[in-house]
A = this chain, B = another copy of it.
Amino acid sequence: MASYERSLEEQGLLIVLSGPSGVGKNSIIDALREEDPGRFHSVSMTTRPPRKDEQEGVSYYFTNKLHFEELIRKDKILEYDSYCGEYYGTPREPIERMTGQNVDILLDLTVKGALELKRNCPNAVIVFVTASTEEALRERLMNRGTESEDAIDKRLETAREEMTKIDLFDYWVINDLISEAANDVSAIIRAEKRRTLRFFVDECDL
| Chain B residues, CB < 8 A from A128 | 196
Q: Mark A131-155, 1 if CB is under 8 A from B, else 0.
A: 1111011000000000000000000
Q: Mark A177-196, 1 if CB is under 8 A from B, else 0.
A: 00000011011101110111
**Distance in angstroms between the alpha carbons of A136 and B3 in the assembled complex:** 13
Number of copies of this protein chain within its complex = 2
Q: Is the CB of B170 within 8 A of A195?
A: yes
A82 interface contact, C-beta 8 A: no
A167 interface contact, C-beta 8 A: yes
**Dominant secondary structure of chain A at its interface with chain B:** helix
Interface residues contributed by chain A, number (CB under 8 Å): 40
Q: Is the CB of A5 within 8 A of B133?
A: yes
Which of the residues B8, B132, B192, B194 comes within 8 Å of A7, measured between beta carbons? B132
Rounded to whole Å, the gap between the CB of A5 and the closest CB of chain B is 6
| Chain B residues, CB < 8 A from A58 | none
A contacts, CB < 8 Å to B: 1-2, 4-5, 7-8, 127-128, 130-134, 136-137, 160, 163-164, 166-174, 183-184, 186-188, 190-192, 194-196, 199-200
